[in-house]
Amino acid sequence: MVDFTRRLARVQQAMAAGAIDLLFLNASTNLQYLTGIARDEPNYGNTMYPGEWLTGAWVPQQGAPILTLPRMLADFHLGHIPGYDVRVLPDAGDPVALAAEVMTALHVPANARIAVDDRSWAELVLNVQKLRPQAVLSQASAIMAPIRRIKEEDEIAIMRKAGEITEAAYLATLQQLKHGMTNLDLITEVNYQLRKHGSRTHSFVTSFYNMGAAYPFDFTNREEVLQVPLEAPVSVSFDFGAVYEGYCYDYGRSVFFGEPDEEYRRVHVLVMASQAAGIAALRTGGTCEAADAAARQVIVDGGYGPAFRHRLGHGIGMDVHEPPFLTAGDATVLAEGMCFTVEPSIFMPHQLGCRVEDVVVVRAGGGEALTSGFQSLHVVA
């Protein structure tokens, strides 16, 4: 069980160390991390409520947070939150007056140092400045990111479960693969299998990268190619992940429709070896850039250096992409409990594409992969 009381204490200790008087977390990953209040799945179009900008938690350096919600969210989404002082804005209420009431209740001084969630509404920032014109505003990530960076064992257990769901969805999808499918078919199948196997939703937009002489497209989730049938020979790289108890997974494997030639089989072996080198390099005391270099060198030595086009990976947890990053120039020292994707690839548009991706935990003796199945190339004959 996640100990939210302990998390609040850690956040308030960090606020004290940074001389932050007030922390505002909107309806976000940070709010879920601190309180357990779940995020909604996003909508394509905005659904706006009066005073929605003050949805979130006002966290003082000492004492209990206060949550503020517009009436619609309180009634239909977030209204039953035990253990918190929840203040609801009526439909015709004044959100600025409610924010002022909260600041008074929390004894926020005129010259306060206030940290706001990095993706807060502009209205929130402007109104906080109006209420405390002498305040110094800063980003909440300075408080929250260092705390969230190190995953505790209960968090890692949740992410391991997310990985199990992801691999189960992948296996079920493999059993449905056949020639003539489209990317739309693949996306629909993967997303269905994720939900069927226990994922709350897909952690990001499910994607497929198709490359081959018979399929002359590069990165192909564009509308104009979603319904083009896959014609062998073509490599198809999966990129998707599950969501479980607020944590995200990110996973990749490549399959081949038709008979792969000798070069493709060699490339697949090379990519898997590159990932193994990157996982081994995720040891306590190493650096992000050193892990990237270790994996990249395998592909360079194999003669495909320019085809490894991107960083080795990124931090992951309650968000799909979190700092730090496994890339040249990121000298962050690795610590036990950091979680990263390790996702080397060889992409040669109109020729071939191969990638692999798993979530890996930094450990003293090298990385611990949370998923490790499906290491061999899957061929759809």
Contact 338, 362 (CB under 8 A): yes
pTM here? Answer: 0.95
Query: Which homologous superfamily does the CATH classification assign to the domain defined by 150-380?
Result: Creatinase/methionine aminopeptidase superfamily (3.90.230.10)
State the 10-residue block means of pLDDT for the chain, 381 residues long: 93 98 96 92 86 96 96 77 88 96 98 97 97 98 98 98 98 97 95 98 94 61 77 93 98 97 98 98 98 98 97 98 98 98 94 96 98 97 93
* Region for residue 209 given its phi and psi (left: phi exceeds 0; alpha: psi -120 to 50; beta: otherwise): beta
Question: What is the predicted pLDDT for the residue at 131?
Answer: 98
Question: Any idea which residue has 């306590």 for tokens?
Answer: 284
Q: Which fold has domain 4-148?
A: Creatine Amidinohydrolase; Chain A, domain 1 (3.40.350)
Residue ranges of the domains in the chain?
4-148, 150-380
Q: Which residues contact 266 (CB under 8 A, 6 or more apart)?
A: 302
CA–CA dist 101, 13 (Å, integer):
25
Question: Any idea which residue has 């990249």 for tokens?
Answer: 296
